[in-house]
Amino acid sequence: MVPFGFQAIIFVLVTLYTLGTSDMAVHTATKRSNLDNMITPLRIQWEVTKRGTTLCVAECSNDPECNSVFYNKVTKKCQGHSVTFGLLDNHMTGQSDTRYYVPFRGHGYILDACTVDADCTIPNSTCWDSRQCMCKPGYSFSPSSRQCVYPCSQFGPLFMTYADSFVHANNLETINNIPLEDCFNLCRNKISFTCRAVEYMGNNCILSNVTAKDTGTTFARDTLREYNVSYHQRDCA
């Protein structure tokens, strides 16, 4: 019986060998067949040209912040990502001849598919909605330290999205009728206070200087999806 939530994921273990400076280095990766012929712009670390899957996976293995790669065997494009994509999402688009590989350290990493918390390997991460590994609300994902961090002393440019969720407290500024990416930009560039999170409710942007874990806040789920709201926790640098 295939575990629930993984029916569409077929794991094919691929052992890849690359020449090191003095001896043969071994790189292992798992091919995720559920993402064959797909590509995504989310959380790209770099994009390079490599002559073969072996060299593409090695490029990722040599970058501490890389956890997965898309490789196109025709164009030779190798695209490294700071997270592990376990599921198809609406950011992905079709691209023929592209395959997706996850090195060992990427299994159970942030955004990988899961069914229970034990599937997620990063401390203070959780199996969010029994679908994806995420940092617990209030903890910021740090690609550089490979951790879920609280408190965060220096914030990065990206955000982790928690759908159908919001925080009661410290809504310092509301901007109406703007796209979500513009809301993120306002948070990144805020000078009068440190913007740590945003809520996006019906095209309205709410900036906050607290996270879901801070004292005096209450993190809530819109389980009935009445408010068209999402909570976006800012990454730690």
Sign, Cα dihedral of 83, 139, 158, 65: negative
Confidence of residue 54 (pLDDT cuts 50, 70, 90): very high
**Average per-residue pLDDT in the chain?**
89
Of the chain, the percentage scoring pLDDT greater than 70 comes to 89
Q: In this predicted structure, which of 3-7, 54-58, 129-133, 226-230 has the lowest mean pLDDT? A: 3-7
Asked whether 166 and 227 are in contact (CB, 8 A), the reply is yes
**And the tokens for 48?**
């390079």
Whether 11-106 shares its CATH topology with 138-236 is answered: yes
Q: Kindly report, residue by residue over 216-234, the tens digit of the pLDDT.
A: 888 999 999 999 999 999 9
Q: What is the model's pLDDT at position 21?
A: 31
Domains of the chain, residue spans: 11-106, 138-236
The CATH number given to 138-236 is 3.50.4.10
Domain 11-106 in this protein, CATH class: alpha beta
pLDDT in tens, 58-112: 999 999 999 999 999 999 999 999 999 999 988 999 999 999 999 999 999 999 9
